[in-house]
Structure formats: C-alpha cells, structure tokens
Structure 1
Amino acid sequence: MTDQTPGRAAAPAAEIVNLALSDLTLSPLNPRQDADPAGIAALAASIRTVGLMQNLSGLSREGGKVEIVAGGRRLRALNLLAETGDAPEFVPVALTSDIQLAQFWANTENSAREELHPADEVRAYFAMLMEGNATVSQVAAAFAVTEAHVRRRVRLGALPAPVLDALKAGEINLSQAQAMTISQDEDLILAALDKAKNNKWCNEHDIRAIVLPHRISGSDRRLKFVGLDAYAAAGGKSTADLFNDETILHSPDVLDRVFAEKLDAAAETYTENGWKWVRTYAEPQPNWSEIAVAARLYREEGELTEVQMARYDELAELYNGDALDEDGESELEALQIILEGVYTTEQRAGSGVLVYVDYAGEVRASEGIVLPEDADAAIAAGLIEADHVTPAKSAASGAGSAEAEKPALSQALVTDLQAMRNAAVQGALLDKPKLALDLLAFTMSERFGPIDMAFHPSNITPSEAEGFTPDPRFSGTDAEDEAEDDAANPFEAFRAKGEKHRNAVLALTVARCLKYGFASFTSGGRLHLFDAIEAEVKANIRQVWTPTAANFFGRVNAVYLEDLLADLTGCDRSSAEFRAFAGGKKKDKAATLERLFSDPDTQALWKIDAAQKARIDAWAPDGI
C-alpha cells in the first residue's frame, strides 16, 4: 500500500533549480499574503547569519517568471537582504508547472509544518550559549527571533530538567514554567511542578506563592524609601523577573530592618528640633482610631511685607508659566514658608509628631499632636484652650476596652482548629485498630457513646485548608473496596481478605465518625473520653496542621501576634527588631510569624535555638 492522496497518483520528486531572485514573485496561491515586518527582519538576520537552510517552492509561468507558492516569508526576507546587497544571487526553488501540485505545496507546508517546541527551543538556546559557541545576538539571528526572546528562553533553561520535561510532555504550560523562574530553590520549584501537574486549577499566581512564598515586589513603598542599593548593601537578595519586567525581593526581614533604621533616622531630626516626642509608624499612614489625641496645634502663620507679597506674586506667575529658574524656585519656597508659618519653641515642647512613609515612599509627618496626658500642661502654657480639648478615652472604656474584651480566637477560627485537632486524633486512631474496636463495642454497649452509630463522618475540614494535611487514608474509597462491589459475592470477597483488612476497615469507619471533644457523663461527673483517646494515640494538631498567615496568624489580632512573637523568641520588646515588627501592618506581622514557623533564615534572624525550635514545632493555640 502506498501513502497517496485519494484520486491522485503519487507526485514525482520535484526538480530543484537555482533561480535569480529577481525572477521570483509571490504567488496568489501562497497562504501567507501578509507578514509581520519585524518577523521578516529577524528572518533576514537569520539568513544573513546561517544562510538559507530550506528551498522555496514555485509555480513556473510563461515568460520565465516563477510564482512562489511556499516560502513567502523567506522570499520577503531575501528581498530585504537584496536592498543591502546581502542576498544570494541565486535561490534554490522546487519547481513545477502543475498548478494542482503547486496548490498542494502551498497548503501542505503551512498545515504540516511543526513549530519548534518551547522546551526544545530552550535547550537549543541554552546549549549554544553555555558551550560558548555563540552570543545572545548570534543565537537570536540564527533562529530569527529577538534578543529579548532568547534571554527569556534561556532563563527557562536554568530550571531543573523535570520542569522542561513536563513542559515538553504538555503536563504544564509555558506560563507556569515561566512563573517558576523567579526562584533558585530547586526543592520549591519541584514542589510547584508537582502541584501544577496534579492540580488543573494551579495558575501562575499559585506557583509564585510556592517558589517564593515571601516575595516582595520591587515597587514596594518600603523599597522606594530605602532604595535598592541600601537594601542590597544590607544583605538583601533580589532577582529580575524577565517575564513580568519587575524586581522580586527575597529578604523581607532585611527590608524591614533597613526601613526601620531609616525611618528612625528621619524621626531623629524632629527630636533634635525640640519636639516633646516623636512616634514612627511602619504603616503608610497612622491608624487614628488607635491614637488618643486631646488636641492639635497648628503653625503660627507669618505675614509678608508689601514688597515680599509683590515679589511672591511675580514668582508665582513665572512658576505657573513654567518659566522659573532654580534660584527663583528657592526664593519662592522661602516666601511660602513664611506664609505657612512655623511651630514655635513652646508648641514643639508641648506636642509631638507622627512620622510615617506614604505609598509613594515619601516621608510624611503629622505635627503638633497633643496627647491626653499632656493636655493640662498645654492649657497651662496657653497653647490650647480647655474647651478645645477632646476628652480622652480611658483604658477601661471605648475602643481600647472593646479590643481587650474581644476573645483572642474567633469562633470560626476555633471551629477550624477543633476540626483539625479531630483530624489529628482520627488519623492516629487508624493505626490503633484494637482501640477502634474497643470504642465501637463500648458505643454499642452504652446508651450514648463516642461513635455515631448512623456512621456520619465528623467534619475535619477547616474553612481555610492551607497548611492542613490530613491522613491520606481519609481521601476516598480504596480501589480494592471498589473491586468488591464488582464481585459476584461482595461479602465473600470482603471476608477473603482476612482479619487484618476487616480491622482496618472498621478502624477507618470508627475514626471517621469520632466526635470532637466527646465527654461521657458518669456518676462521678464527666469522662472526657476524647482527651483520653488523644493522649493514648499520642495525637497532636500539629501533625496535620502548619500555622500560616492565611489559616491562623491573619485571623487573630495584632496584640496576639506581638505577644506570641515575644513569647516564642524571648526577644527584648524594646529592640529595633521587635519595634519594627510591632510597628508594621497586621498582614506583615502575620507573614513574619508564618516565616518564624517555617523558614530557617527567619529563625536564624531571631536567634532561635534548638529548644525554642522544638517549642515552635509543637506549639498550638490555647482555647481549642
């Protein structure tokens, strides 16, 4: 049997002849009637570098002219080279006078041609560059692509081989592979690869969160304030994300430290100028709801002389017309300061300043703040009137007490923690089939027992599942059990598997139905059976749960986080590190606690020793 087009005999081998470029024109049969000029220029550079590697295909016409039916982009590139004298004098062309065959050529080349797979492209570029045989510009010219395209592909070439294998096999897409390039941690990259291959909903954002869980954008206001050079000089690490044209920071603790130091230095200038107190905020603006302010002082405005006012108007007009030079701007600024006024020595001695960095990375200050404890002195000094003072909220009333009265853990969070604690006990119970059978028998012998005899599995899934890894044996029906359903006698098939299998099935059913916190009432009071089971199987919630910002730290208040950090690290609350932590946003505090529980570098930064590490690994919140 021959591979032929139905209804047509196999075509004879085409004759390839060398023809003058000037004799070639684009055929109306050619599917590529339009082409991107940039792509043609890149293809011309490739032909100039490595030559024409594939012949054109043409239909001969009367008068010696040849219409190119396949190879239209190459023809355009050759004509472009001809303008600079770089085109070859003769071009190899597969020639036919059969219009039907020419039509087959025109359509088949475009439909049958397979583009180079990105994974193969990556390996080809990477090999040429790493072997020292070519530069980026030479590779770009050889493959008729841009240099930026080569650099992006080469960045992919540094990924672990399994990633490129998965890309070639279609198990992940190009965007997912690109997202992995922002990290150099092979273990994290492979973890992201595993998730991408096994979770169809895994996107680039999810991958970035895995490979760089603590990344910070180069547009962060803190970095704008301190500068990339200062961050790097302090030991901060960063990489360029070529696929999103941004810088990614990898050392959040370094950034926090440098930011706090520079903010303290900015605040020091106010202290030197005689203000009674200066308070810094790591947030982009003070949280006024947390600040008890008795009154606010304002600058004592100045007055301009007639001559100064005339000069001010003159300079302002030039400024508005964008015609004011540098000296004129300085003069205008000096007059503006007089108009705005200044705080007197007495005002500064009786009030304070809140210093912070705004979203643009600029230092801002709220000046003239009189605290409740300074109100009487300010009244006595004549800085404010008594009836202008806002009554301060006492520690036992208002917002302060509302925060104090709130439970440390919300009911929703407690419910999640209890579900996961139950999951830990259930998982440990699977390995204690004798205990499970004892519980089952005890339940059947009692009016009320710890096992729901309707066999309704207890909920062990929290509302926020990040960091939660229950025993995989709870994941679904065993394949062997499914086989029993197909047997002629399922019961006999089940019994044939033996006592060990039977006990495992019973243990699984009992464990799934174990009720959290079950207590049996006896003549002597309550028997906290759940706690006793937990102790016997040596279960702990941390066996199935790792605290993260999403599942725990972001769901408690800022005071709880500060107390927890101080307790676990034993740090001095007056230290620069703790003050930087305490002055940050709640979400930043939550992120720091997450790193303290999972990141060795963060643990080293807080000087966590072996005993503290063991305590962190075993820690669980009270109240569950």
Structure 2
Amino acid sequence: MATAVQKITLSSSRDIPFNKLVLSQANVRRVKSGVSIEDLAASIARRGLIQSLHVRPVLDADGQETGMFEVPAGGRRYRALELLVKQKRLAKTAPVPCVVSRADSDILIDELSLAENIERAPLHPLDQFRAFQTMREKGMTEEAIAAAFFVPVQVVKQRLRLASVSPTLLDVYADDGMTLEQLMAFTVTDDHARQEQVWENVRNSWSKEPHQIKRMLTETTVRASDKRAVFVGLDVYEAAGGSILRDLFQDDDGGWLQDPALLDHLVAEKLKAAAEEIASEGWKWIEVAVGFPYGHDYGLRELTGVTVDMTDDERAAREALRDEYDRLESEYAEADELPDEIDQRLGEIEQALDAFEQRPVIYDPADIAIGGAFVSIDSEGSLVVDRGYVRPEDELPVETERGEAPVADDSDPAAPTVQRAVITIGGQPTETEEDEDDGIKPLPERLVIELTAHRTLALRDAVAQNPHVAMTMLLHKLVSETILHNSTPGCLHANVRHVFFPAQADDLKDSLSAKNVAEREEAWKQDIPANDDALWNWLTMLDDTSRLALLAHCVSYGVSALYERPNPLSASGVSEHGLNVRLAQADRLARATGLDMVEVGWRPTFGNYLNRVSKARILEAVREGAGERAAQLIDHLKKGDMAKEAERLLADTGWLPEPLRLVDLDGQAVETQADAEPGDDAALPDFLTEDGEEETSLEDEDGELAVIAAE
C-alpha cells in the first residue's frame, strides 16, 4: 500500500503595523553589503515594498504572545522602512506585508535568517544588461534609468554598451565561456562580424587577454592621439564622414579612428593647402611629408635671412605679458596648488610670449628663386615649415678668382675649325717644325700636371710647418662641407663623411643628443659667413678655443658607432675586422669623452626596447636594474603587461642594454647606477605587492566602484 505524502503548510501572511515590528538580534547579516540603506529606502518610496518581511511573534516569560513581532529575515528592508519613518515619509502605524511563522516552530530563528540570505541567487550580469536595454527600448532615457537605480549615467551607458555586443558572444558569456573583462574589450566596436571573427581567433589561443582582444579589434585603426589626427582635428574627420571607436570602460585617449584612408586624405589636403600658401612666397620647390627623417636636409645649403624686428606695439604687449606673469607668480608663490583659472592664464601667457619669439624671417628674392622649403607635421600634430634650403643643382655658377671664364673668339665665324692630332711618344707629346709660330698657345696638359705637382708638394711642406694655417685650412674645408653643405671640391683632399642611420627609432630626432647637435649648429650658423673668402678671414680671426670647438663640431659628423652586418663583398660593406675596429674606437671615444647614455636621456621604454625583446630579456633587465624581488613579482605577466611594468620599474634605475654600456679597457662593462645591488624596497605597483590577485572591477569616471555588472 502506497504511503501518503505528507503535505506541508506555508506560513500565513498579513499586514502588521510598523511600530509592532522589531529587528531580531538573531539576524545573521552583520557586514554592510550591496545596495545602501538610503538607496533601498528610495527604491521602496518609488516602487513600494517588493518583498515581504519574515517575522515571528515575540513571547513573554510565560510563553504568551506580546503583540510584537521580531524580524529575523529582511533586516535591511526593516531599516529602510525605519529610515522612511524618521523622514516622515511613512507613518509609524503603516501596515507592512509580513510572512508570519509560528512562535513554537522547531526551526531556529537563526536558521531562518541564514537561509533567507544564502539561498538567494544573484542576478546574472547579462540579465541586468538586457533589462536596461529593454527599458531603454520602451522609452526610458539613460538618465531616467540611472535615477531609478541610483547609479551614474556613465554606468547605464556601460551596461547598454555591453548588451549591444554580438548575441553570439553574449551567449558565450552567459555560459561562462568568457569573462566580463573580455566582454568589455569587445565593446570598442559595433561590428558584430568582426567581434565574432576575433573571438574565433583567440578562443583557443593562450593569448586572449582583454588588451589582446582590443588590439586585434583596433589593428586597422589610428589612435586619436596620432599626430595626423591631431593635425586634422577630430571634428573635421567626423564631419567628413569618419567614425571613431570609443572605450567606455577605460581611458581611450580619444578613441580610434576607423578610416585611415580618409584621415590620410584629409592630412594630404591640409598639407597641400599649406604648401600652396608657402609656394606663393616665390620658392622654387616645396617638399611635403608627414614627417622627415633625421638628416633629411643633408647636402643642402641653408639660406640666411633677416629676422623681422618687433614693432613698438608688440614690444609693449610683450612687456605687459611679462609683468602680468611675474605678478601672478609672485602672488601665488606660497600656494600649494594654483587655482585652475590662474594656472590656465599662466599657460596662455607662456604661449603668447613664445609666439613673440617666433619672428618671421625675410629672405633675399634672388635666394627665394633658387631655394625651397620643407613642410611637415611635428610630434605634437602642429604644422612645421622649414624655409630656406638650396639644392646643389640649383646653385648659381661661381666666378673664379682669376676672372670670367674665357670666351671663344668668333670674329671669323666662316673660318673652318681644324682638329689637330696630338702625337705622343713615350708619354711625351711630339712637336713638329710647322707647329712653331709666333702665337702663344696653352701649355701642354702633361706639363701643367708636372708643374702643379711641384707646387702641391711645396704647399704640403709649407702647411706642415705652419699649424695655425693648417688648422684654418682644415676648418675651412670641414665647415664648408658639414655646415654650409658646399660640395665643390677644393685644394684640400680631406673631408668628414656625414654618417646617416639606415635604421632609426621614431624618437631619435626628438632625443636630447639630436637637439644638442641642432642647437650647436644653429648657434654657429648665426656667425659663419656664407662667402668663401669671408669664411677664410673669419676663421683666421677666431681664437684657439673657438677654433677647437668648431673643429670638434665638424669632426663629430663623421663619428660612427653603428653596428652593421659584416659584408666585405659589398662596395659599401664592412669586414668583421673593420667592424671590430669601429666599435673598439667608439668605446675609446666614449671613455675619452665620458659619455653616459643615461645622462643624455636614454631610458628603456615599452617601444624602444622592452616590447622588442623576449620575456627572459625583460626579466633580466628588471633583475639587474630593480632587483630579484621585482623580477619575481612580474614574471607571471603576459609579455605586453610585463613590458609596461618593466618600463615603470626601470625608469629611474639607470639600467642600459649591453650595446649602450660603457666598456673599459679590459672589455668589462663600467659600473653604472643600475649595477649597484638594488634594494628590495624598490617601488612596485600596488597590485604587485599584494598577496594573491585582486578581482577586476569596473570603475566610474571618479575612480569609485561602479560595477556594476555583477551587483
């Protein structure tokens, strides 16, 4: 016979006045978590009490009901109702929906409280995203949704963006096939097909970190911080129909421009317009490029113009700005932090003063007719115009010291031209009787060579006995070739071959060394005369200190410490021995000059070294520069993250890779700041000094927790 199933009886529910309720001391919730009491009270005021309280009658000493009820489950709702009563928004006797359990139940009140809290299943983040999306589709604005759920509008935008990811990927996320951070990475683009394509490429890969997903989604785009984008302007790009990808979850530095072809077209158009305006000044040529490599003006003669002086009004305006700047600096000298408006004003004054220093230069019209200009964009996205360069083929003919070139005698144009044969015997020309006449003919070529050989040898001897003249001659030659770019051969067969770099990093032209060389040359150019005779006289009058400084500057152009693959079979190649000699001499020069690459500003960065070597090399660098402890704390990171952290850790250590280290005479690296034993207290990022890994969460614009997604 079948046993009857015992039926259960549910607790009854009824409305109980609020002033008859008390919070149970058996409530297990002690730690604040989730939505605040204030937000819950506001939610109840807006929507009413969605979930009833669970209560149990309070008994007196004799076991009789007192008419009061304690609340073991629903304590936060009770406190929210209590807050509304204190705010006079709810009556003390307002009826509260309650589920009442029996006072004599054999279930402990503590069990009720614990079960009510742990048996609740939290809402899956995706359900929340989709709920927000549904409310948005039904007409609620993002601001209204944010107000209804007491979150910033930015959080609502983030959740709506997550809900807009490809449905295929949302299903993967719902099945725990990807993390929330990976899903966030896919929001940088609205292209569902591209999102799914990238996921297929990374789903079974060892490298499917969010930054890798984002990189793949934006690999055909251009960063908004790119100098081309800054030069054109995002507004102009968007007005032309270009679209921009945005990242709502992290600082994206302006986003990513999706149409590089359109951007390059806009850049070309703007550069062309600038070039046409400059060409109207009368220059023979204009060369345009987004950027020119270091040394692009080699071999060109730079014209010297006249700087336009400031007018009286401009001088007065400049002095007024200087006085205002000094006054503001003095007024706020003791302030720990400048007010925003003062800081902005000081910046405006600095820009205005810099503009006064950038004076226009007037060139001779004859020079403009044979010269040209370079038009490009600097690293900050500003237009750069370098005027006043003359190419060798455009140089005007130079008159010789001994007069004009001879002019042929054409007094008798009808006279026939007779080509006479030159007969030589034993290398000596033969002369016949009929050759002799009363006319004076040019000397035979061979004789001229012999005579000038005598003169050359005598000049060598004389120069060798006069060091001052020898120094002047060498300086004259070197200055003409390296600074004035005069390639016309002279009587001295000595030269410095300007060595250029077949491969160079993007930041080479902005390095401290490049700036020093350019500034030094510009300073010399201010004094060096362009005329050949005037240059000789000027060099003769220089004091010995200046002559040596100028000689050093010219000679420096020929220094090469470049490594190149030995290739003695090439016309311009170098042998293994030649390369070793070059590098050994470069080390000798470094020792002699006290060169320290750290002092000249070189630092290992993500782009110039760390991301271009293996993880083992990165760890070796951090171990040498920041210590074993720092290396151990980043050895678990992916290569890209490891390289970024290594850049920060090595920033002030003075560490250098082997090719940049100074080598002593024994072939050992000279000790630098990084070679000293690093202390274990080297500054490390917060997350690297914690035990275990921190849970990743989304943050709002103020840096406070906003996620959000999994609340």
Q: Which residue of 1 aligns with 2:131?
A: 124
Q: Which residue of 1 aligns with 2:157?
A: 151
Structure 2 residue corresponding to 1:74, chosen from 67, 73, 77 = 77
1:226-265 to structure 2, matched below 5 A, reads 226-244=232-250, 246=252, 247-265=255-273
- Cα pair distance change 1:345/1:190, threshold 3 Å: same
Distance in 2 separating the partners of 1:156 and 1:322 = 48
- Cα pair distance change 1:121/1:345, threshold 3 Å: same
Conservation of the 8 A alpha-carbon contact between 1:292 and 1:393: no
Distance in 2 separating the partners of 1:57 and 1:378 = 107
Conservation of the 8 A alpha-carbon contact between 1:292 and 1:371: no
Distance in 1 separating the partners of 2:374 and 2:175 = 58
- Cα pair distance change 1:47/1:345, threshold 3 Å: same
Q: Which residue of 1 aligns with 2:48?
A: 51
1:610-621 to structure 2, matched below 5 A, reads none
Q: Which residue of 1 aligns with 2:360?
A: 342
* TM-score, length basis structure 1: 0.50
Residue 198 of structure 1: SS of its match in structure 2? coil
Q: Which moved more, 1:334-343 or 1:49-58?
A: 334-343
Matched, 1:365 2:402: no
State the Cα distance separating 1:73 from its structure 2 match: 3.9
Structure 1 residue corresponding to 2:117, chosen from 110, 114, 119 = 110
Conservation of the 8 A alpha-carbon contact between 2:301 and 2:486: no
Matched, 1:92 2:97: yes
Per-residue CA distance 1:52-83 (angstroms, 9 max, x = gap): 21123457668977665443443454455556
Distance in 1 separating the partners of 2:380 and 2:501 = 34
Q: Which residue of 2 aligns with 1:219?
A: 225
Q: Which residue of 2 aligns with 1:266?
A: 274
1:166-565 to structure 2, matched below 5 A, reads 166-199=172-205, 201-244=207-250, 246=252, 247-283=255-291, 286-297=292-303, 300-301=306-307, 312-322=318-328, 341-346=359-364, 351-373=371-393, 386=480, 388-390=483-485
Conservation of the 8 A alpha-carbon contact between 1:303 and 1:338: no
Q: Which moved more, 1:19-28 or 1:353-362?
A: 19-28
Residue 241 of structure 1: SS of its match in structure 2? coil
State the Cα distance separating 1:309 from its structure 2 match: 6.5
Conservation of the 8 A alpha-carbon contact between 1:172 and 1:196: no
State the Cα distance separating 1:152 from its structure 2 match: 2.2
Structure 2 unaligned spans of 5+: 1-6, 61-65, 330-341, 401-478, 490-496, 504-563, 566-611, 613-711
Distance in 2 separating the partners of 1:168 and 1:353 = 61
The code of the aligned residue for 1:152 comes to Q
Conservation of the 8 A alpha-carbon contact between 1:237 and 1:251: yes
* TM-score, length basis structure 2: 0.45
Distance in 1 separating the partners of 2:267 and 2:143 = 40
Distance in 2 separating the partners of 1:124 and 1:337 = 55
Conservation of the 8 A alpha-carbon contact between 1:119 and 1:165: no
Residue 236 of structure 1: SS of its match in structure 2? coil
- Cα pair distance change 1:100/1:77, threshold 3 Å: same
Distance in 2 separating the partners of 1:113 and 1:64 = 30
State the Cα distance separating 1:161 from its structure 2 match: 2.4
State the Cα distance separating 1:169 from its structure 2 match: 0.6
Structure 1 unaligned spans of 5+: 1-9, 408-462, 464-624
- Cα pair distance change 1:297/1:75, threshold 3 Å: farther
State the Cα distance separating 1:402 from its structure 2 match: 6.3
State the Cα distance separating 1:171 from its structure 2 match: 0.7
Conservation of the 8 A alpha-carbon contact between 1:301 and 1:338: no
The code of the aligned residue for 1:316 comes to R
- Cα pair distance change 1:92/1:270, threshold 3 Å: same
Distance in 1 separating the partners of 2:323 and 2:155 = 51
Matched, 1:161 2:167: yes
The code of the aligned residue for 1:256 comes to D
Per-residue CA distance 1:382-415 (angstroms, 9 max, x = gap): xxx8474246699xx8768968xx99xxxxxxxx
Distance in 2 separating the partners of 1:334 and 1:153 = 45
Per-residue CA distance 1:449-483 (angstroms, 9 max, x = gap): xxxxxxxxxxxxxx9xxxxxxxxxxxxxxxxxxxx
Conservation of the 8 A alpha-carbon contact between 1:304 and 1:339: no
The code of the aligned residue for 2:204 comes to N
- Cα pair distance change 1:314/1:151, threshold 3 Å: closer
The code of the aligned residue for 1:259 comes to V
The code of the aligned residue for 2:378 comes to D
State the Cα distance separating 1:222 from its structure 2 match: 2.2
Q: Which residue of 2 aligns with 1:487?
A: none
- Cα pair distance change 1:291/1:48, threshold 3 Å: farther
Residue 208 of structure 2: SS of its match in structure 1? coil
Conservation of the 8 A alpha-carbon contact between 2:132 and 2:159: yes
Distance in 2 separating the partners of 1:165 and 1:34 = 34
Distance in 1 separating the partners of 2:299 and 2:286 = 14
Distance in 2 separating the partners of 1:183 and 1:331 = 41
Residue 92 of structure 1: SS of its match in structure 2? strand
Q: Which moved more, 1:265-274 or 1:385-394?
A: 385-394
State the Cα distance separating 1:164 from its structure 2 match: 1.6
State the Cα distance separating 1:118 from its structure 2 match: 1.6
Q: Which residue of 2 aligns with 1:459?
A: none
Conservation of the 8 A alpha-carbon contact between 1:44 and 1:81: yes
The count of residues paired between Structure 1 and Structure 2 equals 391
Q: Which moved more, 1:164-173 or 1:119-128?
A: 119-128
Residue 246 of structure 2: SS of its match in structure 1? strand
Conservation of the 8 A alpha-carbon contact between 1:42 and 1:145: no
Distance in 1 separating the partners of 2:247 and 2:184 = 9
Distance in 2 separating the partners of 1:156 and 1:375 = 65
- Cα pair distance change 1:252/1:335, threshold 3 Å: closer
Per-residue CA distance 1:254-302 (angstroms, 9 max, x = gap): 111112211222333322334444333324xx31144425454566456
Distance in 2 separating the partners of 1:162 and 1:339 = 60
Conservation of the 8 A alpha-carbon contact between 1:308 and 1:335: no
Residue 122 of structure 2: SS of its match in structure 1? coil
Residue 244 of structure 1: SS of its match in structure 2? coil
Per-residue CA distance 1:13-45 (angstroms, 9 max, x = gap): 555554445666666654554547975454444
Per-residue CA distance 1:288-334 (angstroms, 9 max, x = gap): 1444254545664566799987875454112333499x9x9999999
The code of the aligned residue for 1:229 comes to D
Distance in 2 separating the partners of 1:364 and 1:335 = 19
Distance in 1 separating the partners of 2:376 and 2:369 = 21
Residue 111 of structure 2: SS of its match in structure 1? helix
Distance in 1 separating the partners of 2:23 and 2:44 = 19
Distance in 1 separating the partners of 2:287 and 2:357 = 27
- Cα pair distance change 1:377/1:199, threshold 3 Å: same
- Cα pair distance change 1:400/1:41, threshold 3 Å: same
Distance in 2 separating the partners of 1:72 and 1:278 = 79
Give the RMSD, CA atoms, in angstroms.
Answer: 5.1
Residue 108 of structure 2: SS of its match in structure 1? helix
Residue 199 of structure 1: SS of its match in structure 2? coil
The code of the aligned residue for 1:188 comes to R
Residue 150 of structure 1: SS of its match in structure 2? helix
Per-residue CA distance 1:530-562 (angstroms, 9 max, x = gap): xxxxxxxxxxxxxxxxxxxxxxxxxxxxxxxxx
Distance in 1 separating the partners of 2:210 and 2:488 = 48
State the Cα distance separating 1:149 from its structure 2 match: 2.9
Residue 184 of structure 1: SS of its match in structure 2? coil
Conservation of the 8 A alpha-carbon contact between 1:299 and 1:340: no
**Identity fraction in percent:** 28
- Cα pair distance change 1:20/1:296, threshold 3 Å: farther
- Cα pair distance change 1:316/1:39, threshold 3 Å: same
Conservation of the 8 A alpha-carbon contact between 1:295 and 1:389: yes
Comparing both structures, which one devotes a greater share of its residues to helix? 1
Distance in 2 separating the partners of 1:239 and 1:180 = 11
